[in-house]
Structure 1
Amino acid sequence: MFTNYLKTAWRNLFKNRTSSIINISGLAVGMAVTILIALWINDEVSFDSYHKNYDRIVQVMQHQLFNGKYESQVANPYVMAEEIRRTYGNGFKYVIQASWNYNHGLAYGDKLFLKPGSYFEPQVVDMLGLKMLAGSKDGLQEMNSILLSQSVATAIFGKENPIGKVIRADNKTNVKVTGVYEDLPNNTTFRELTIIFPWQLYLSQNQWIKQMDSPWGSNFTQTYAQVADNVDIEKLSARIRNVKLNKLGNEEKRYKPIVFLHPMRKWHLYADFKGGINTGGRIETVWLFGIIGIFVLLLACINFMNLSTARSEKRAKEVGVRKTIGSNRKQLIVQFFSESVLTAVIAFVFSILLASLIMPFFNSVADKKMAIPWSSPLFWLIGIGLSMLTGLLAGLYPALFLSSFQPVKVLKGTYRVGRYASLPRKVLVVTQFTISIVLIIGTIIVYKQINLGMQRPIGYVRDGLITHDVSDEIHKHFEALRIDLKNSGAVIEIAESGSPTTGVWNTNGGFDWEGKDPNFAVDFPNNATTYEYGKTIGWKVKQGRDFSRQFASDSLAFILNESAVAFIGLKDPIGKIIRWDNKPYRVIGVVEDMLVQSPYKPVRASFWHISTDQQNVFIMKMNPNWSVGKALAKIESIFKRYDPATPFKATFADEQFAEKFDNEKRIGKLATFFALLAVFISCLGLFGLTSFMAEQRVKEIGIRNVLGASMLSIWQLLSKDFILLVGLSCLIAIPIAFYYMHTWLQKYDFRTDISWWVFAVSAAGALVITLITVSFQAIKAALANPVKSLRTE
């Protein structure tokens, strides 16, 4: 019996080739999108699950009261870890300190490499569950040691055994390779952890750490921990909330720090905090694309329903004959479900091939390294289950509708579909285009938001700015380097800076000014620079003057941005005294607000001061009259002259700035991709319905042609119903899109407006696409020879 169902279903697919191709194509595209989104969601929700202690690993974070509101941060005092171990050690298996992950120069023989890595305490191997391929997991117990990832070990040593080999690190320390671990996957927070140094080496290289007067007041390390088995993370988090507050003096207690544990399972999807409360994060995008995947698959199912019910009259006699010779309704329902499931299974095969072809593009847009898991039984089980479910869903309405025909009426020729028979099809068409138009509107608004951020004034000249890490050797010879670079003609100006122009790497408290409430805790970006910083980046001085070597007093001077002047409330800021850690600094200048952090948030009140200490980056302004390649080659040669052991790697400020839009651009590109596919699937269904209508009304069209009807009138006859349906879709889609996009925009402090033209363009676009899709069949029918359409056999 089942074989008979399949044979009949196969024959029907071949008999109705056009509708079969449309159904299979639509379902294949819908399934391919669903597969890609499902793999993407799996990658997102399984983020960090590579680490075997995933459910027990936490990061120690703190909320602090800055500038009148709570802000959340991962930076901690270096004494935090030891205090937690000492006071709350029974709740933890490991408490580990770590530095920030940044590039380190590695030299082996005449080879130079620049690889990202961190300093960690030795227990990191066990805590993160690193898979050691060579050497010992206890290798970090030796102070002058290093662990390498497999790819770095191969890059440096090739096929040589790396264990025991000595590498020169950052041109200041010789370290011995004591272990090699498996490369970490792309979907982990530590994916760029390619080298690991011992924490004791970090302390020995930075003697100032142990010489600090107030170690609890400086936040510059990260603290990770593994909670002991059978200990509740939330309860333990509540226990340690005052671990820092209890160690602070009265002056620093005004920051009201609250220490808490942020579980690894939430690092990726729930990373956003506002006012000391976790407000979500990427989980919103996961939900968004999950819903889009369901809707795109639903569009394909709607096509199947529409085309199947539209051809109901052609299959009415088949149903009548089957019922007359003894078929019951259950058997007919199984027959129609067999057809839809067979269509879905064929579509699934094509969807796998389509997903494989699209995967490289999808990975590049989504910043992933996903692949079709061909060898996974679970994937195939879910895939086949999805195709079966899709087939049942797509065939549900047609099966129930077609199997309900009464054989007496059908075979006597008195069966009529009725004036309301097309109503379900119209509802489904409206549903299809409503979803498509919502996606189109959403895509336009996402790009409007991106454009808003990109058009904000940045307050400095970004073109030609490059940054390079400051090494010890280069800092020692900074003035000579600066003169050589300028004399070479490749560089207009150069400065050292604590932070690049596209980020804040350091903030400070301890500021006081006339009229300030002594209990009001503040924290400002406070960038240490050299005198030529302003000339290098081209900031805009609004009041006062720039730093100058001609004024010795500038060593105790501040330049403020406009937001700082407004925040402090200085009406005439030039010459005013602001005390920082009880030292008086005179305000000598005010610069236009510079867009340093998020382009969607207000510019923070910021300070700049002069420092002769070693800073983090060099900022250089390249000569615009030189080609980039020529200038970089010249700059590199001069850097090598002063520090031949450190690899040269310049970063362009415009590239760093562009990274600030990565998340929104990714959402925009994926939304565009899904919107185009949704429109494509909807148009496939529209094309099929138009073809069917033209076929059903072929004699009517022939008679109209004979009676002199124009092509325009026939085109209107076949098109007007669909145009009305799409117009109705626009009316439904606009308020839905407005509501959801308005909600999405609320997470941005600076957000675009939802202009009326967005809805007008989306509606017009949908109508134009509809007209193009419908017109092909309508014009073809109008141009058909009436002699052929009116003749009878």
Structure 2
Amino acid sequence: MFKNYLKIAWRNLKKNKGYSAINIGGLALGMAVTLIIGLWIQDELTHNSYFKNKDRIAQVFQSQTFNGQIGTGPAIPRPLETAFRDGYADNFEHLVMSSWTTSQYLKYKEISLSRTGNFMQAEAPEMLDLTILKGEKDGLREINSIMLSESAAEALFGKEDPIGKIIEVNSQYDMMVTSVYEDIPANNSFHDTQFVMPWEKYITTQEWVKNAIEFWGNNSFQMFVQIADNTSMEQVTANIRDVKKNADEDNAEFNPQLFLFPMTEWYLRGNFENGKQVGGRIKYVWLFGIIGAFVLLLACINFMNLSTARSEKRSKEVGIRKSIGSQRNQLIYQFLSESFLVVLFAFLLSIALVLLSLNGFNELARKEIEFPWANSSFWIVSIVFIAFTALLAGSYPALYLSSFRPVDVLKGTFKAGRYAGLPRKILVVLQFTVSVAFIIGTVIVMQQINHAKNRPIGYDKEGLVQIPTFSQDFEGKYDLMRNEFLATGAVVEMSSSSSPTTRIWSNRNGFDWEGKPEGFQEDLAWTEVSWEYAKSLDLKIVQGRDFSREFASDSNAVLLNQTAVKYMGITDPIGKFLKDNDEDDPDPPLRIIGVVEDMIAQSPYEPVKQGVYVFDKNGNSSFYNLRLNPKQSANQSIATIERVFRTHFPNIPFHYDFVDDEYGEKFAAEERIGSLSAIFTALAILISCLGLFGLTSFVAEQRTKEIGVRKVLGASVFNVWNMLSKDFLKLVSISSFIAIPISYYVMNGWLQEYPYRVILEWWIFALAVIGALAITILTVSFIAIRAANANPVNSLRTE
């Protein structure tokens, strides 16, 4: 019997090829979008699933209060390790101090390359449960050992066995490869950790790290822990909360509060505001989950609308079948089997669409998602979904049509009823409400991105190149390299700095100045720079003057940005002094010689932070900043710079970054969200239009004779077009007025997360409404004009 149902269903699909194509195509498109979004969400939710102990691993965070505002972050002081090991060892199974993930130069024979990694304590491989491919898991037990990721080992050694080989790091010291571990997958923390070196090596090679052992005010380190089996994150947090506050009397005024931030929340819930956790990327998971659900809903609405509309034409079929003995349940099974067949075909087509688009989606979303062929849960969910969708879409025609009295249908006295089309109208309104809301949301997201992009950044990022200078080979060579680069003509100015142009690497407090309010707790972004820093970045001096080689006293000079002047409450800052209130500091006070225009060094969506630029007299630069000659091509200039670089640093790989690319990365997450939202919005509109196209075709077909009579009586093409279009335009207008307040509420709430944000204006909503009406007119007009131009003689012969 079931085989017979499917055979009849197949024949009905073939008989109505146009409607079948719209039904299957629209549903397949909606399913494909939902599948891709579902795979993306799964990838997001399974971040850090690589680590077996993820539920018990955490990072130590601290919150500190500055002038009533609480700042939260992972930077902690080095003495905290001793305090934890001495007083709280029972709380932890593993405790690991770590540097930040930074680039190092690795060299083996003639191969030299730059890779990112960490200095970590010996427990790290066990805590992270690294998969060791070669060598030993406790590969950090010796001070001169190094563990390499599989890709880093292959890049350095090729097919050679790396174990026991000696590599040179930063032209500074030799390290022996003790282990090769499997690359940590992309959707995990520590993915960029391509090597691990012993923490003890970090201490012995960096004097400032060694000196930080008793300095509670130096928050320059990270600590990762795995809690003991007999405790919980909450219990350990309660135990350690006031450790730093009690141990560091000098900084107790900042009320430092320690807590454990679980690995399971690092990626999705990593944002803090005034000491409170306020989410993070989880908002994107919810956003795309909602988009996926609504896109699928639109596709299902199309399916239901067209199924119910077409089913009413089959009333005579129902009447005949019932008159020859068909039971109601048989008719129900028949309609449900047809619905199931459509959904099954749509699902198979959706899989093909996903496979075709997955590579492009991965490139756009910066993911490495694969189709889950071997995932049984995926197929179980898919089967349930197919059955549910088929039941949902087929239930109305099945129950409604199977209830007809055959005598009424066959006599021709059956009428669908005055409100038979009401459910379809409601569904169309819902469909276009979602589509209009998507249009408004996408426009606002793009506006916010462009608003931040067009924000004055305070310096000229075009033609500005950064070269990292992490090796000791660079020490004492700044003036030499500047002269060499300038002599080539490829560079018009050069400077050095302790932080990259697009980041703030250091924050300091503990300063006094004239007029400082009593009890004021300052937090200043600190950058050490060379003489020509402002010139190379094209920073505008708004008060005073720049650093100058003509003034020897400028070695104790400082520049403030405009925000710092306001923040510190200094009137007429030129000539004032900034004094370190540490009595043991031998350096004289810093004299303020100038004020520079604010430059964006952090998020372009946030206010500029108060910053000071101090002359670098100790050679602590981490970057060369080169202003390329605008009269030469960038490629030509880079080639010249590389030639000079390799002459002086033959053992160091030439690595550089364009600052405009680095700055552009600040928009990457929002731009990806905006691009994906635009694509999904376009697909949602397409799905809605497919449904509208199908319904318009059905209405035109139903009213074929009426159109013929009207034309014979003198109706114009416009009259016929108006007759077929006005109802749909009314429905879309209603949708627009429903979508506007919903969109305003949601997007206004989203914009509140950005201190520097666009203002919602009326034209955005008007544009969305006009766009929706225009799309409706174009979709309906094709069918309406074709029906209006049909020969009325043929129309009147239609039965």
Query: SS at 2:219's partner residue?
Result: coil
Residue number in structure 2 paired with 1:148: 148
Question: Which runs of no fewer than 5 residues in structure 1 stay unpaired?
Answer: none
Aligned length: 792
2: distance between equivalents of 1:385 and 1:581?
A: 68
Distance 1:413 1:631, change over 3 A: same
Query: SS at 1:430's partner residue?
Result: helix
Residue number in structure 2 paired with 1:201: 201
Q: Post-superposition shift, 1:389?
A: 2.1
Q: Post-superposition shift, 1:625?
A: 1.1
In the alignment, is residue 788 of structure 1 matched against residue 797 of structure 2? no
1: distance between equivalents of 2:779 and 2:213?
A: 75
- Partner amino acid for 2:609? R
Residue number in structure 2 paired with 1:525: 525
- Partner amino acid for 1:366? A
Residue number in structure 2 paired with 1:754: 760
Query: SS at 2:760's partner residue?
Result: coil
Contact residue 67 and residue 523 of structure 1 kept, 8 A: no
- Partner amino acid for 2:365? A
Contact residue 27 and residue 347 of structure 1 kept, 8 A: yes
Residue number in structure 1 paired with 2:247: 247
Give the TM-score normalised by the residue count of structure 2.
0.97
Residue number in structure 2 paired with 1:641: 647
Residue number in structure 1 paired with 2:28: 28
Residue number in structure 2 paired with 1:733: 739
- Partner amino acid for 1:424? P
In the alignment, is residue 226 of structure 1 matched against residue 226 of structure 2? yes
Q: Post-superposition shift, 1:570?
A: 1.6
Contact residue 304 and residue 395 of structure 1 kept, 8 A: no
Contact residue 513 and residue 579 of structure 2 kept, 8 A: yes
2: distance between equivalents of 1:573 and 1:332?
A: 88
Residue number in structure 2 paired with 1:604: 609
Query: SS at 2:698's partner residue?
Result: helix
In the alignment, is residue 475 of structure 1 matched against residue 480 of structure 2? no
Alignment of 1:3-14 (within 5 A): 3-14=3-14
Residue number in structure 2 paired with 1:585: 590
2: distance between equivalents of 1:405 and 1:361?
A: 50
Residue number in structure 1 paired with 2:560: 560
Alignment of 1:540-551 (within 5 A): 540-551=540-551
Residue number in structure 1 paired with 2:43: 43
Distance 1:4 1:68, change over 3 A: same
Contact residue 429 and residue 725 of structure 1 kept, 8 A: yes
1: distance between equivalents of 2:394 and 2:184?
A: 45
- Partner amino acid for 1:557? A
Segment drifting more, 488-497 vs 395-404: 395-404
In the alignment, is residue 181 of structure 1 matched against residue 186 of structure 2? no
The C-alpha deviation readout for 1:237-269, integer Å capped at 9, x for no partner, is 1110111112213x3211111011000000001
Contact residue 233 and residue 261 of structure 1 kept, 8 A: yes
Residue number in structure 2 paired with 1:287: 286
Query: SS at 1:521's partner residue?
Result: coil
Alignment of 1:127-138 (within 5 A): 127-138=127-138
1: distance between equivalents of 2:702 and 2:341?
A: 26
2: distance between equivalents of 1:81 and 1:435?
A: 53
2: distance between equivalents of 1:406 and 1:124?
A: 76
Query: SS at 2:750's partner residue?
Result: helix
1: distance between equivalents of 2:645 and 2:83?
A: 43
Q: Post-superposition shift, 1:212?
A: 4.0
Residue number in structure 1 paired with 2:309: 310
- Partner amino acid for 2:462? D
Percentage of identical aligned residues: 50
In the alignment, is residue 660 of structure 1 matched against residue 666 of structure 2? yes
- Partner amino acid for 2:232? D
- Partner amino acid for 1:536? S
- Partner amino acid for 1:611? D
Q: Post-superposition shift, 1:605?
A: 1.0
Contact residue 309 and residue 401 of structure 1 kept, 8 A: no
Segment drifting more, 330-339 vs 476-485: 330-339
Give the TM-score normalised by the residue count of structure 1.
0.98
Contact residue 166 and residue 176 of structure 2 kept, 8 A: yes
Q: Post-superposition shift, 1:321?
A: 2.5
Contact residue 437 and residue 733 of structure 1 kept, 8 A: yes
Query: SS at 2:528's partner residue?
Result: strand
Alignment of 1:50-89 (within 5 A): 50-89=50-89
Distance 1:210 1:102, change over 3 A: closer
Distance 1:492 1:214, change over 3 A: farther
2: distance between equivalents of 1:369 and 1:629?
A: 31
Q: Post-superposition shift, 1:13?
A: 1.4
In the alignment, is residue 595 of structure 1 matched against residue 594 of structure 2? no
2: distance between equivalents of 1:111 and 1:56?
A: 40
Contact residue 598 and residue 660 of structure 1 kept, 8 A: yes
Contact residue 306 and residue 694 of structure 2 kept, 8 A: yes
Distance 1:272 1:440, change over 3 A: same
- Partner amino acid for 2:733? G
Distance 1:494 1:277, change over 3 A: same
Contact residue 147 and residue 181 of structure 2 kept, 8 A: yes
Residue number in structure 2 paired with 1:684: 690
Contact residue 494 and residue 532 of structure 1 kept, 8 A: yes
Contact residue 477 and residue 642 of structure 1 kept, 8 A: no
Residue number in structure 1 paired with 2:585: none
Contact residue 183 and residue 194 of structure 1 kept, 8 A: yes
Residue number in structure 1 paired with 2:622: 616
Residue number in structure 1 paired with 2:488: 488
2: distance between equivalents of 1:488 and 1:240?
A: 57
1: distance between equivalents of 2:403 and 2:519?
A: 79
Q: Post-superposition shift, 1:313?
A: 3.0
Q: Post-superposition shift, 1:115?
A: 1.1
Query: SS at 1:147's partner residue?
Result: strand
Residue number in structure 2 paired with 1:301: 300
Q: Post-superposition shift, 1:518?
A: 4.4
- Partner amino acid for 2:638? L
Contact residue 204 and residue 210 of structure 2 kept, 8 A: no
Contact residue 473 and residue 642 of structure 1 kept, 8 A: no
Residue number in structure 1 paired with 2:679: 673
Question: Which runs of no fewer than 5 residues in structure 2 stay unpaired?
Answer: 583-587
The C-alpha deviation readout for 1:464-513, integer Å capped at 9, x for no partner, is 11111113212321111111111111111111101122110111011222
- Partner amino acid for 2:689? C
Query: SS at 1:216's partner residue?
Result: coil
The C-alpha deviation readout for 1:699-754, integer Å capped at 9, x for no partner, is 11112222222111111111111111111111111111101001111111111111
2: distance between equivalents of 1:688 and 1:601?
A: 48
Contact residue 527 and residue 613 of structure 2 kept, 8 A: yes
**What is the aligned-residue RMSD (CA, Å)?**
1.4
Query: SS at 1:229's partner residue?
Result: coil
2: distance between equivalents of 1:398 and 1:563?
A: 67
Contact residue 68 and residue 521 of structure 1 kept, 8 A: no
Q: Post-superposition shift, 1:516?
A: 2.4
